[in-house]
C-alpha cells in the first residue's frame, strides 16, 4: 500500500493514518506519532527501511499477530509504505519502508521508575510482577521467547487501560517450540549474547541457547532492579564493549542470590533460585512463581487496587522543581521517545532466529526497540 504526500511535511499512510511527529528513533528505524483520520485515534507508527541490514519489522508483526487477543498485547497491523522525496525530510531520493501501526501506549516502566526517583515500593513491585509474569507466560504459551526482558519493554496503557501492563518489542523474539509438533529447539552452546546485558541470564552470558527459563531469570533481575534502585553489575567499564560485557557476566556470576536479594523478602531469592534451577526444556511453573508474590502481597496486607507509586505522585501533584530531575515527559508519546533510545548495555545482535548469530561471532553487540 502506498503512502503519499499531501502537502509539505504532511504524509498519509494508506490514506488512513497521518504522521504527526517523530517520537523515537534507533538503529532499526524511526517511530512516529500518527492519527487515524477516520476515528481520530492516536497511534504509534514504527518505520523500517526495506533495505535495513537486519530487518525485524516483518517478523515482529508476525509475533504480534500470533499473540493478539490477550491482555497486555498491543494491537498491530502491517502496511507496505512507498515514500517519495518531496515534502518530507529526504530530498532528492525515493525510499521504501515497512511500517507497523500499533496502539499508542503510555510510559515504560523505566520511565516510571525514573519518575519515582528510581525506587518502587514493595506493593508496586509485587503488582507489576504479577502482570509481567502473566505477559511472559502468554508469550511462552504461544511458542515464543522474548529474549529482551527489561523495564523499557513493558509499557503501561493509557485511558481506561492505564493500570494494565503491556509487553512490547519482539524484534529479538524467537520461536522455541514448533507449534505443530511441539518439538523444543535443541540445546546449543557458543551462542551470541542476545538481549540486554544488564538483565541477561547467566546462561545467556555463557553462550547457551536461550529458552523459557532465561526470560524468567531476566524478570527476576528486573524486579530486584526495582527493589534496589540498581544492580551490582551496573556501571562497569571496559576497554571495549566485549570486555565490558565480560565484566558484567563475571560480576553477575560472582554475586550470589543471597547477596543480590539481601534486605528484601525471601520470595525474591526463591524466585531466582527456581529460575536458575530450571532445565533447558523444562516447563516453568508459572503459577508457583505468581503465588510466591501473591502470598507475600497478602502477608504484607496490601490491597491489589492498582494504585501504583506513580499514581500517588501524580495525584499529589508532585511535579515541582524538586522532582523535575526524575519526572518523565507527560506528552503523548513522550515515553515512546525513550523506547527508541539504545541502552548502553544492549547487545548488537538481531540475527539469531535464522542462525546468523552462529557465524557472526561474539563481538556483534547492541539492540534497540
Pull the grid cell for residue 353. 532466529
Interatomic CA distance for residues 74 and 71, integer angstroms: 9
Q: Is 46 annotated as a binding residue?
A: yes
Query: 268: exposed, middle or buried (C-beta count within 10 Å: 0-12, 13-18, 19+)?
Result: buried
Half-sphere exposure of 210 (CA within 13 A, CB side): 29
Query: Of the candidates 315, 309, 331, 317, which has an alpha carbon nearest to the alpha carbon of residue 116?
Result: 309
Query: Of the candidates 119, 120, 112, 199, which has an alpha carbon nearest to the alpha carbon of residue 163?
Result: 112
Strand locations in the chain (E): 3-7, 10-13, 17-26, 29-36, 42-49, 76-83, 95-103, 144-145, 154-156, 165-167, 174-175
Q: Are 87 and 128 in contact (CB under 8 A)?
A: no
* Length of the chain in terms of residues written: 369
Q: Are 103 and 43 in contact (CB under 8 A)?
A: yes
CA distances, 143 to each of 64, 183, 336, 354 (Å): 12, 10, 27, 16
Strands 165-167 and 154-156: antiparallel
Interatomic CA distance for residues 323 and 296, integer angstroms: 31
Quick one: CA dihedral 339, 27, 36, 169, positive or negative?
negative
Q: Which position among 30, 103, 111, 148 bears the catalytic label? A: 148
* Residues in Cβ contact with 316 at an 8 Å cutoff, skipping those fewer than 6 apart: none
Question: Annotated catalytic, 152?
Answer: no
Interatomic CA distance for residues 82 and 96, integer angstroms: 5
71 φ, ψ (degrees, to nearest 5): -65, 135
Interatomic CA distance for residues 175 and 142, integer angstroms: 9
| Residues tagged active-site | 148
Instruction: Give the annotated binding-site residues.
Output: 46
Instruction: Give the annotated binding-site residues for ATP.
Output: 46
Amino acid at each position: 500500500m502506498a503512502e503519499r504526500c499531501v502537502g509539505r511535511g504532511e504524509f498519509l499512510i494508506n490514506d488512513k493514518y497521518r504522521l504527526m511527529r517523530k517520537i523515537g528513533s534507533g538503529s532499526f528505524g524511526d517511530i512516529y506519532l500518527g492519527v487515524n483520520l477516520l476515528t481520530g485515534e492516536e497511534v504509534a507508527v514504527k518505520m523500517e527501511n526495506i533495505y535495513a541490514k537486519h530487518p525485524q519489522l516483518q517478523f515482529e508483526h508476525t509475533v504480534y499477530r500470533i499473540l493478539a487477543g490477550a491482555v497486555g498485547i498491543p494491537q498491530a497491523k502491517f502496511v507496505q509504505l512507498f515514500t517519495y522525496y518531496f515534502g518530507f525530510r529526504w530530498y532528492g531520493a525515493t525510499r521504501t519502508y515497512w511500517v507497523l501501526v500499533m496502539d499508542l501506549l503510555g510510559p515504560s516502566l523505566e520511565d516510571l521508575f525514573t519518575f519515582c526517583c528510581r525506587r518502587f515500593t514493595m506493593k508496586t513491585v509485587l503488582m507489576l510482577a504479577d502482570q509481567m509474569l502473566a505477559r511472559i507466560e502468554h508469550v511462552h504459551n504461544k511458542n515464543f521467547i522474548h529474549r529482551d526482558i527489561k523495564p523499557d519493554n513493558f509499557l503501561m496503557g493509557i485511558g481506561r487501560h492505564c493500570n494494565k501492563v503491556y509487553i512490547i518489542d519482539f524484534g529479538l523474539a524467537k520461536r522455541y517450540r514448533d507449534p505443530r509438533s511441539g518439538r523444543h529447539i535443541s540445546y546449543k552452546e557458543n551462542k551470541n549474547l542476545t538481549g540486554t546485558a544488564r538483565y541477561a541470564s547467566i546462561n545467556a552470558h555463557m553462550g547457551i541457547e536461550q529458552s523459557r527459563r532465561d526470560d524468567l531469570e531476566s524478570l527476576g533481575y528486573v524486579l530486584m532492579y526495582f527493589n534496589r534502585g540498581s544492580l551490582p553489575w551496573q556501571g562497569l567499564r571496559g576497554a571495549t564493549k566485549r570486555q565490558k560485557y565480560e565484566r558484567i557476566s563475571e560480576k553477575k556470576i560472582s554475586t550470589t542470590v543471597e547477596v543480590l536479594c539481601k534486605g528484601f523478602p525471601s520470595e525474591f531469592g526463591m524466585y531466582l533460585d527456581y529460575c536458575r534451577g530450571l532445565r533447558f526444556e523444562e516447563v516453568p511453573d508459572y503459577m508457583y512463581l505468581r503465588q510466591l508474590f501473591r502470598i507475600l502481597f497478602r502477608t504484607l496486607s496490601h490491597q491489589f487496587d492498582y494504585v501504583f507509586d506513580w499514581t500517588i505522585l501524580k495525584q499529589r501533584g508532585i511535579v515541582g522543581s524538586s522532582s523535575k530531575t526524575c519526572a518523565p515527559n507527560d506528552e503523548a508519546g513522550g515515553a515512546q521517545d525513550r523506547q527508541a533510545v539504545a541502552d548502553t548495555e544492549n547487545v548488537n545482535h538481531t540475527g539469531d532466529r535464522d542462525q546468523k548469530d552462529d557465524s557472526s561471532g561474539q563481538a556483534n553487540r547492541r539492540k534497540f526497540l
